Amino acid sequence: MYLNDTTRAALLDRLRVPDARRRVLLTGATVVTMDPRTGVLPVGDLLIEGKVIAAVGRDLAARGAAVDAVVVDATGCVLTPGFVDTHRHAWQGQLRRVMPDVDDLGAYVRTTLAGYAPVYRPHDMYVGTRLAALSALDCGITTMLDFSHNSRSAEHSDSAVRALIDTGIRGVHAAMGPHFGDWDEQWPADLGRLRDTYGSDLLTFRLAALATDEIAGPWLAYGPELARTARDLGVGVSVDAVFGAASSRAVSRWERAGLLGPEVTLIHATGLTPDAWRAIGASGTTVALAPTSDAQIGLESAVPAVDEALGAGVRPGLSIDVEVALAGDMFTQMRTLHAIQRMRAVAAVYGTDREPSRIGTLDVLDFATLQGARTNGLADVTGSLTVGKQADVLVIRGEDVNNMPLNDAVGTVVLGADARNLDAVFVAGQVRKWDGRLLDVDLSALREEARASRDHVVAAADRAGLG
């Protein structure tokens, strides 16, 4: 929004006056709805009433939408749905890039899950999760699934959940017991208490598990018992470390036992057999890809399984995974997947007269928004700028120096924009970022808290001989 400082400050004051029925009209933007019925409006408006999107269209003010509304001129900007992260281990936030050149899964497991995780206090869970959620909001991720696999006690879980609540992000807390070290063994029974205590419009819950018993033993591996627990609680299941021959055999077992379906998400899905993909597609099971994780850490084939997913009729969601080694923003995930898939498609037909089957920028934006919401079980709530859905909205400056002149809006969002271009971020109609700045965050205090927590974790791990 290209407004003067006085206008911006006055608008923010009006946006933040407590009012559950507040109307906000964003006008004059290019609106990328990600709703297949509406598509892209080259010049359009969006009306927010309270938490929800009340109208999307052209010249809504002429139809009375500006009455009693805070009107924000978004000329030169692109409106999109908020990005949806389908899998991030948020508790590791204060350990960002401690191992940027990790070469394999084993090194990550030894250093982070066997080394640092056992010394985490509940306070460290809070600090890492809050830091991850705030930075997610800063780069336009309005929904984040926190795959919280360091639930050593009820207090550890409570701290992770409170961190999501305190940031105002749309959170999905996927709880799992830790891989190694002492813990209270309260999981998965404690998941019901968490859901009943904290569940809300902005916070939902899932059961998290591993695909096989290879890493941490059978108690964390998805199977009939955990599936029954999830069904009894009425929550979905997110299954991590799905790759290779062992996971392919597990998928076949789950199919025979009736344990697949739309309520189940398989994360990574690299190196799976054709029969496993057939089972995934036939059952409507969802898939969360982690493009930079697969490629950079080298998980199984190291190739994000987008072609395999699409071939099975599955449009996947996208995720960040581990910030100890990877970028934490969705722009990087979209660009990485876009480039890798297109490179792979051309390489597959090089030297022949066949045409490569390439995905486009609209595909990866779909994965990062609508399909991510579907993967997290929230397709009716978020993921597109659709009337009736909650107002998770990004306002992206399309005429900043790295984007001007604004030509193709989808291409600009996927290939040009980054966090610096995010003028405003709304979650359920509440403004969380404005004028390019996160709101209600003391960055100096956050910085000190993150450093202190990191220093404690590293020192404690060293004293225990784990680091």
Which amino acid, residue 217? G
Question: 10-residue block means of pLDDT along the chain (467 residues)?
Answer: 70 84 94 97 97 96 87 96 98 97 92 96 98 98 98 97 98 97 96 97 98 88 97 98 96 98 98 98 98 95 96 98 97 98 96 95 98 98 98 98 97 98 97 96 97 97 81
Here the tokens at position 419 are 């966090």
Which superfamily is assigned to 83-375 in CATH?
Metal-dependent hydrolases (3.20.20.140)
pLDDT for 175 equals 97
Tokens representing 278? 């057939």
Please tell me the pTM assigned to this model: 0.97
pLDDT of residue 107: 92
Q: What is the 3-state secondary structure (H, E, C) of the chain?
A: CCCCHHHHHHHHHHHCCCCCCCEEEEEEEEEECCCCCCCEEEEEEEEEECCEEEEEECCHHHHCCCCCEEEEECCCEEEEECEEEEEECHHHHHHCCCCCCCCCHHHHHHHHHHHHHHHCCHHHHHHHHHHHHHHHHHCCEEEEEEEECCCCCHHHHHHHHHHHHHHCCEEEEEECCCCCCCCCCCCCCHHHHHHHHHCCCCEEEEEEEECCCCCCCHHHECCHHHHHHHHHHCCEEEEEEEEHHHHHHHHHHHHHCCCCCCCEEEEEEECCCHHHHHHHHHHCCEEEECHHHHHHHHCCCCCCCHHHHHHCCCCCEECCECCCCCCCCHHHHHHHHHHHHHHHHHHHHCCCCCCCCCCCHHHHHHHHCHHHHHHCCCCCCCCCCCCCCECCEEEEECCCCCCCCCCCHHHHHHHHCCHHHEEEEEECCEEEEECCEECCCCHHHHHHHHHHHHHHHHHHHHHCCCC
Alpha carbons 419 and 399: distance in angstroms, whole number: 14
- Both structure tokens of 44: 């359009």
Model pLDDT, residue 1: 66
Side-chain-side CA neighbours of residue 111 (13 Å): 19
pLDDT at residue number 5? 60
Q: CATH 2.30.40.10: which residues of the chain? A: 5-82+383-435
Per the listing, tokens 């993967």 go with 375
pLDDT value for 143: 98
- Tally of CB atoms within 10 A around 423: 23
CATH hierarchy code of domain 5-82+383-435: 2.30.40.10
pLDDT of res. 3: 60
Could you give the residue range(s) of every CATH 3.20.20.140 domain in the chain? 83-375
- pLDDT at position 216: 77
Please report, for residues 196, 233, 279, 305, 367, the alpha-carbon distance to residue 273 in angstroms, rounded to integers and kept in the order given.
39, 31, 10, 11, 23
| Count of C-beta atoms within a 10 Å radius of residue 94 | 27
pLDDT at site 217: 80
Q: Let me know: does 414 contact 421? Beta carbons within 8 Å.
A: no
Distance of alpha carbon 218 from alpha carbon 138, whole angstroms: 38
